[in-house]
Amino acid sequence: MDILIIGMGYVGTTTGLVFAQQGHHVTGLDIDQQKIASLQSGNLYFYEPGLQEMLSTHIKNHTITFTCDAEAAIKNHDVIFITVGTPSLNSGKADLTYIKQAAEMIGRYKNEEKIVVIKSTVPIGTTDELEEWIALSSKDTSPVHMTMNPEFLREGNALKDALYPSRIVIGSQSDTAIHKLKELYKDVSSPVLVTSTKAAEMIKYASNAFLATKISFINEMARLCDKAGVPIQDVAKGMGLDERIGSPFLNSGLGYGGSCFPKDVKELIASAEEIGSPLHILQRVEEVNQTQSTYFMSKVKSKFPRLKGKRVAIFGLSFKPNTDDTRESVAFRMLEQFVQEEAKIFVHDPAVNLSTDWVKKGVTQCWDPYITVKEADLLVICTEWPQYTQLDWKRVKGNMGNPYLFDGRNMLIGEEMKKLGFYYRGIGSDCIDH
């Protein structure tokens, strides 16, 4: 199938490459010439395991091409995916500027019947509105078959999630579109759910909101466990063994970040409020998430009431491992608190380049974890990059000035760290000693 994808961001590029991998011919369209030039020359401008190799292969095979020429791209394709961003406005509502731009572009250049598929996460009712926006900017009256086909892939795991999705949701009133999408996904052995456009939109928000709820639930339980003297890891394990609950998304830590959960939770809360059906549970989910980093900071402060001049080492800046994405990363909330306290900060992350703004604030980036901790008074883990578990922790301790270790992701085994002579604090297991 010949497919056009509008929006060569993270989701669009990954989706395009996966379609190419499945044997389709893909054209990636974006108004950002730099992005297009980079992709066209075979350079993936973000980090995602396995994707760079895939891009090189498909460019070489001409199974994917990239363009800024909207007119030609839209005229030549009858299946058009929209994967542009829907960031948060200050009100919490989703900003639909890019979606509207894509609709106007399709309307302007549409010359025949089209199937338009939204993959971006959009508020309930947007897919129907999009049809009107396309019609308003179009002279052509041939039908547009609107479809909502939400994307569930996780950064850092995108290829696996896109190649083997847990489910394929097709929201459409058009038999033509449903038939075409079923054909597109015919080699993917995942359950397919055909539903209305609004239900498909809601499924995406409700899924992200539920996963965020699991995280805030376990984080609040972890706070209780700290007080009650119970290790949260055992509690999460015991809960997760119940298949009605399941073990994923029960890792307590500094809270959720990234480009989806924070924005989607905010959008759902804001639109539910607007519709007159406030989501009380979700409001608390957000509150727990907002306060989790200050909760963890209070553990640091209980040992270091004054941080001015203290050498602080931080491991991990990305919002989660295996990505260089720092959007809404809780690590930066921690960083900001240490900057406010005038600590001397040294950070390490395997993939993230610290921006000059932070360097100007006095934060130093190191590329070697052992150097990052040199003479440090305390070490704080903000992102659970797997390579941190492989470190020689005896050497880490030897390099530190004082062996204070605050594990914001519960990634290390506290008892082992204590045996090595560290003062160790995680989240939800403070009971073990005091």
Binding site for ligand UDX (CB under 6 A): 151-155, 208, 211, 215, 249-251, 253, 256-258, 260-261, 319-320
| Residue closer to ligand UDX, measured from CB, 180 or 320 | 320
What is the distance, to the nearest Å, from the Cα of residue 213 to the centroid of all Cα atoms in its chain?
A: 15
- In whole angstroms, the minimum distance from the beta carbon of 313 to ligand UDX comes to 20
- 280 burial level (CB within 10 Å; 0-12, 13-18, 19+): exposed
- In whole angstroms, the minimum distance from the beta carbon of 321 to ligand UDX comes to 8
| Residue closer to ligand UDX, measured from CB, 210 or 375 | 210
Q: H/E/C letters for each residue in 240-297? A: HCCCCCCCCCCCCCCCCCCCCHHHHHHHHHHHHHHHCCCCHHHHHHHHHHHHHHHHHH
DSSP SS3 for 376: coil
- In whole angstroms, the minimum distance from the beta carbon of 208 to ligand UDX comes to 6
Q: Which residue is nearest to ligand UDX (CB)?
A: 260
* Cα separation, 135 vs 146, whole angstroms: 12
CB-based contacts of 298, cutoff 8 Å, min separation 6: none
* Cα separation, 28 vs 139, whole angstroms: 25
Nearest to 46 by CA among 87, 17, 75: 17
- In whole angstroms, the minimum distance from the beta carbon of 223 to ligand UDX comes to 14
DSSP one-letter string for 37-83: HHHHTT--SS--TTHHHHHHHHHHTTSEEEES-HHHHHHT-SEEEE-
Nearest to 264 by CA among 245, 276, 279: 279
| Residue closer to ligand UDX, measured from CB, 124 or 158 | 158
- How many helices, marked H, and strands, marked E, lie in the chain? 17, 14
* Cα separation, 380 vs 359, whole angstroms: 19
- Copy the structure tokens of residue 230: 């119970």
Active site residue 382: no
**Backbone φ/ψ region at 418: left (φ over 0), alpha (ψ -120 to 50), beta:** alpha
Q: Which residues pair with 379 in a beta bridge?
A: 313, 405
Which of 260, 366, 382, 431 is catalytic? The answer is: 260
Look up tokens 């044997």; give the residue: 23
- In whole angstroms, the minimum distance from the beta carbon of 218 to ligand UDX comes to 7
- In whole angstroms, the minimum distance from the beta carbon of 404 to ligand UDX comes to 23
* Cα separation, 178 vs 299, whole angstroms: 53
| Residue closer to ligand UDX, measured from CB, 129 or 161 | 161
| Residue closer to ligand UDX, measured from CB, 152 or 370 | 152
- In whole angstroms, the minimum distance from the beta carbon of 45 to ligand UDX comes to 17
| Residue closer to ligand UDX, measured from CB, 295 or 423 | 295
Catalytic residues: 260
